[in-house]
């Protein structure tokens, strides 16, 4: 990659501090690592102290003081480490989990008192609910099958399991809630539900319909291909992952400076939003997410999944660095091009050109920007494609520090 001083002295310092001595080109060979993709999906390590700049951005975007932002980062890291054990303790009674910002604790929904006691033993808070996650996931999976067989109606913008409400939520565009196709879709969901009130409808304003954030020949780092600009997600051994809606199989990809990087080796959209590009021709990969001068560039140390309610930050080539919280997981989003399954919803803003960019929580990779509504002036919501399914789909290994 033919970077000059723009290659960022701070990046070199980060890598040196991480004990990754040697030249940049030796850090990430273009050939695939023999390590399996499963190696990347480890539990979260102890989180390093957050930079003053990151704390400042979180305080700005989440409405916190700096002290509150630091405390929240510590609490979220603890909740992320605790979640797998709490889920195992709940067993078949598991009803979902989330991070509660008010108490600073992981909350686990369970069906019945026996599961509740086991979960409390792990240190997590408990909410007793009526439906298990398996029941709710089955209802959502039925809607996904319907959407795969035939496009969901345009009046339906998406659907998801809401663990805090213990319901399946179908989002409907305002003005379309009484359309025959919309009512039929909701009725189908309710017929498949295990009990009354399991499926609820949320009406969204017409200007809040989700759309992807690719951009036509306009600007982590930007890349250019087949007349679009998108953003790099995360480095993997041999390349980088990004959004599938930016991909055109085999198409050449060019970097910020116009030099050739590689080609799209895979891309899926709609259905999923998976994409990856091989890297060579003088370019290299590093386990870093760009902070754009707003925060220091962030080292990537793993891909442990943050819980609902946790803070998350996004880096993209248009709007750079912004933070927010995880609102929902495994949501199906009905874009104009078709439904995409398994996305994570956040209240982080984004704009065209940010597609494919990095979502990171602490030092853990979360996913690549898929789409959303709104902008970074008036606010909005953004969905990301979780990174671990992309790694698994293509047999890739996340590059970590």
Catalytic residues: 245, 273, 355
Count of Cβ atoms closer than 10 Å to residue 150 Cβ: 7
**Residue 199 phi, psi dihedral angles, 5° rounding:** -105, 125
Q: Which two tokens stand for residue 85?
A: 């054990």
């Amino acid at each position: 990659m033919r970077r000059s001083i723009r290659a960022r002295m701070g990046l070199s310092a980060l890598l040196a501090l991480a004990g990754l001595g040697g030249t940049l080109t030796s850090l990430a060979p273009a050939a695939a690592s023999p390590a399996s993709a499963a190696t990347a999906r480890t539990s979260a390590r102890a989180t390093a102290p957050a930079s003053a700049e990151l704390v400042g951005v979180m305080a700005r975007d989440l409405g916190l003081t700096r002290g509150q932002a630091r405390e929240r980062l510590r609490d979220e890291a603890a909740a992320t480490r605790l979640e797998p054990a709490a889920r195992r303790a709940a067993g078949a009674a598991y009803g979902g989990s989330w991070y509660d910002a008010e108490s600073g604790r992981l909350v686990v929904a369970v069906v019945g008192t026996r599961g509740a006691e086991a979960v409390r033993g792990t240190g997590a808070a408990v909410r007793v609910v009526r439906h298990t996650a398996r029941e709710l996931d089955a209802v959502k999976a039925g809607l996904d099958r319907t959407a795969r067989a035939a496009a969901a109606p345009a009046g339906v913008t998406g659907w998801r399991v809401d663990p805090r409400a213990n319901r399946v939520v179908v989002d409907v565009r305002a003005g379309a809630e009484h359309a025959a196709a919309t009512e039929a879709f909701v009725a189908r969901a309710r017929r498949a539900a295990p009990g009354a009130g399991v499926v609820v409808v949320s009406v969204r304003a017409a200007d809040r319909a989700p759309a992807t954030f690719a951009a036509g020949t306009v600007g982590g780092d930007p890349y250019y291909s087949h007349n679009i600009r998108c953003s790099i997600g995360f480095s993997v051994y041999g390349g980088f992952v990004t959004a599938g809606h930016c991909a055109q199989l085999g198409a050449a990809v060019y970097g910020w400076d116009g030099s050739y990087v590689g080609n799209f080796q895979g891309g899926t959209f709609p259905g999923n939003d998976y994409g990856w590009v091989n890297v060579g021709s003088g370019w290299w990969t590093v386990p870093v997410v760009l902070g754009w001068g707003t925060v220091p560039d962030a080292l990537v140390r793993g891909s442990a999944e943050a819980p609902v309610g946790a803070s998350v930050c996004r880096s993209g080539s248009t709007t750079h660095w912004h933070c927010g919280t995880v609102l929902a997981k495994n949501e199906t989003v009905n874009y104009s091009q078709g439904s995409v399954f398994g996305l994570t919803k956040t209240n982080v803003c984004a704009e065209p050109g940010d597609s494919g960019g990095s979502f990171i929580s602490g030092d853990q990779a979360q996913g690549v920007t898929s789409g959303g509504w709104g902008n970074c002036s008036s606010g909005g919501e953004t969905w990301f494609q979780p990174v671990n399914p992309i790694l698994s789909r293509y047999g890739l290994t996340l590059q970590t520090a």
